[in-house]
Amino acid sequence: MTPISFSLCVYCGSRSGNNPEFADLARQVGRWIGEHGGQLVYGGGRSGLMGILADAALDAGARVIGVIPKALVEKEYAHTGCTELHIVETMHERKRIMAEHADAFLALPGGIGTLEEFFEVWTWRQLGYHDKPVGLLNLNGFYDSLLVFLQSAVGSGFMNDWQMGLIRTGSDAPLLMQALVQAAGTTAPDVQLDQI
């Protein structure tokens, strides 16, 4: 088997959203991971963007590690086609295992679960629990309002520029993924980080 050059944890919606571009983005991300010898780590679901992402990664030859709580498996939400499917008892265990298997983290469009996972891994980086790159993929301005709010929090003195500097944002999926993988010190194609 070809050695894995990097492992990217992707957070995204368990729904597809109402814009076909969301599904196209999930496919693009999954394909890119597979075409560049990477491994996808994600929440183990088969519905919404999660399922589209995993299927695209698998079709492109990626290893896919899914981590899903037992309660969701019982509701038949698990993607049984994953290379590895870890069934866990709690959400805390799920997120810990996903983080341990990842070199970097990327959030695609999604709802409260996606946001919760993104904010937690960002907080963990701030606290020094890990030093892995964290990215936010802002397709067509999906996260513009969130980024405005975060800047408002900086302006109000509840955050600072150093904290904002712990995440990378971008609208170009391949370029952002390359930057995250390079920042993680793994072996995906090079990119100039000042392009982000």
Which whole-number Å values give the CA distances from 30 to 45, 68, 150, in the listed order? 14, 18, 28
Which whole-number Å values give the CA distances from 167 to 14, 58, 68, 134, 161, in the listed order? 23, 27, 25, 5, 11
The confidence score (pLDDT) of residue 3 equals: 65
**pLDDT value at 28 more than 90:** yes
pLDDT tens-digit profile of 134-190?
Answer: 999 999 999 999 999 999 999 999 999 999 999 999 999 999 999 999 999 865 433
CATH topology for 18-89 is Rossmann fold (3.40.50)
**pLDDT value at 192 more than 50:** no
Which residue, chain included where needed, has tokens 């907080």?
123
> Based on the number of CB atoms within 10 Å of its own CB, is 189 exposed (0-12), middle (13-18) or buried (19 or more)?
exposed
DSSP characters over 84-122? EEEEES-HHHHHHHHHHT-SEEEE-S--HHHHHHHHHHH
- C-alpha atoms less than 13 angstroms from C-alpha of 76 in its C-beta half-sphere: 0
